[in-house]
Amino acid sequence: MGNTVLHRSLAADLSTAMIYALLRLRVEVFVVELGCPYQELDGHDLDRTTRHYWLAPDGAIEEPQATLRLLEPTDGQFRIGRICTARQARRQGGLRRLLEAALAEVGDAPCVLDAQLDCVELFSSFGFVVNGAEFTEVGIPHVPMRRDASARVR
């Protein structure tokens, strides 16, 4: 992961091969590895305001190792989701890099996400706070988290 390059693109600017590669990684992690039968292609990947972030080896942009998606479902409010790193590329700081980039774009605007319990501490370190009850989605416990203008990265 050390020599990977961080990329960011609006949905409209993604090539067909690139969106295919990002969706392929997400399906590899969430559906195949975690065994979650859910609607991975939820209709938001091509929304006008959707931003995709990913890390890929230098010179191999279409081989993403990690990705996340930043939605802007209502004007000025953001949602981060579809966060995943290929199994062989984990624990090398990839998610941290992606989060830093996405939150730089979010700035002081409110931002929400649904966190798997293992990741609550990590998101807390970026200023997110748990703001609702635990719930289960496709068999995996999550909590809703929110980051507001007053949040400061620890």
Ligand X SMILES: CC(C)(COP(=O)(O)OP(=O)(O)OC[C@H]1O[C@@H](n2cnc3c(N)ncnc32)[C@H](O)[C@@H]1OP(=O)(O)O)[C@@H](O)C(=O)NCCC(=O)NCCS
Q: Which residues contact 88 (CB under 8 A, 6 or more apart)?
A: none
Q: Does 115 bind ligand X (CB under 6 A)?
A: yes
Binding window for ligand X (CB under 6 A); candidates: 3-11, 70-78, 89-97, 131-139: 89-97
Decide whether 19 or 119 has the Cβ nearer to ligand X.
119
**Binder to ligand X among 92, 100, 129, 144 (CB under 6 A)?**
92
Decide whether 51 or 142 has the Cβ nearer to ligand X.
142
Binding window for ligand X (CB under 6 A); candidates: 6-14, 19-27, 72-80, 91-99: 91-99
The encoded tokens of residue 67 equal 């990705």
The per-residue DSSP string of 51-97 comes to EEEEEEETT-TTS-SEEEEEEEEETTEEEEEEEEE-GGG-SSSHHHH
Of 140, 83, 89, 82, the residue nearest 116 (C-alpha): 140
Q: Does 93 bind ligand X (CB under 6 A)?
A: yes
Binding window for ligand X (CB under 6 A); candidates: 10-18, 39-47, 116-124, 126-134: 116-124
Angle at 38 between CA 129 and CA 45, to 5 degrees: 70
d(CA 102, CA 33): 25
Decide whether 5 or 12 has the Cβ nearer to ligand X.
5
Q: How many residues of this chain bind ligand X (CB under 6 A)? A: 17
Binding window for ligand X (CB under 6 A); candidates: 20-28, 90-98, 128-136, 146-154: 90-98
Q: Which residues contact 91 (CB under 8 A, 6 or more apart)?
A: none
Site residues for ligand X per CB under 6 A:
29, 66, 83-85, 90-96, 115-116, 118-119, 122
